[in-house]
Amino acid sequence: MKIGIIETGEVPADLQARHGTYRAMFRRLVGEALPGADTFVHSLLDGSGPPDPQAADGWVITGSAHGVYDPVPWIGPFKDFIRRAGEAGVPQVGICFGHQIMAEAFGGRVVKSEKGWGCGLHSYEVLRPQSWMTPGLSRVRIAAMHQDQVVEVPDAAEVVGGSNFCPFGILAYPRARAMSFQVHPEFETDYASDLIRIRAGTRIPHPVADVGLHSLEHGNDRSAVAQWIGAFLARGGA
C-alpha cells in the first residue's frame, strides 16, 4: 500500500536536532499504523503545488504553523486537491492543520478560537463510534497544540468526537472517504513537552503552558489512534 504524507509545516528549528522533522514523525506514525506500507513525502513548502490525488492509495496531511485563512499561495490549490481526492474516493487523514483545512475544503469554517491555546494532553469523548475504531474506546487522550478550531462543520461531515474545549475534534466524511483529528497522534510526549516550553510566555500564557505540561505526565492513547488510522486507510476509508 502506497501512502503519501503531505507536508504542510516543519518542526521549529531549535527542536529539530533533538526531535527530527514532521515528515519523520509521520513516517513513524504511518509505519506503526500500517507496517509494511510504502510511504513517501510530498512537501507543499517548496512551491511545487499539490500532487495528483491518485498518486497514492491514501494521504495523510500534517500539521502546520499556518492558519487555513493565511494568504499562503498553496492553500487554495490544496483545498481543491482535498476535494478532488474526495471525489475520486482516495482516503485522506488530516491532523491538526490537516483537520482544519479538510473542514474548510468541504464547506466548513475555521477561526482563531476565542478559547485560546489548547496544549498538552486533551481528552476527547467518542460520540459516534466508527467501524475503523478498533480497539473501541469511549474516550481518547492525545497531545494537542492549537489555537485555531473548526467552528462550523461541513454538511458532509459527522462529528465523531470532541470535548468542551474543542467540540468538533474528530470528524469523518463517509462519502469522501476522509477523516481527521484536531489532536496530534504523531507527537511523542517529549516533543509535546519541549514544544510547550519554547512557546510558554511568548505564544502560550504561562498558566496554560503549566497545565499542559502537567497533563503530559499521564498516559495517552497514541497507539490506539495509530491503529484507527491504519484500519481506516487499509479499508480504503470505509
Joined grid coordinates for residue 184? 496530534
- For residue 21, the model assigns a pLDDT of 95
**Number of helices and strands in the chain (H, E):** 7, 11
Residue 237's pLDDT is 83
pLDDT at 48: 86
Of 102, 183, 172, 189, nearest to 140 by C-alpha is 183
Tell me, what's the pLDDT at 233? 97
pLDDT averaged per 10 residues in sequence order, the chain, 238 residues: 97 96 95 93 94 97 96 97 98 98 98 97 98 95 98 98 98 98 98 98 97 97 96 90
pLDDT at 14 (0 to 100): 94
Say whether pTM exceeds 0.75: yes
Determine whether 149 is exposed, middle or buried from the number of CB atoms within 10 Å of its CB (0-12, 13-18, 19+): buried
Domain ranges of the chain: 2-234
Superfamily covering domain 2-234: Class I glutamine amidotransferase (GATase) domain (3.40.50.880)
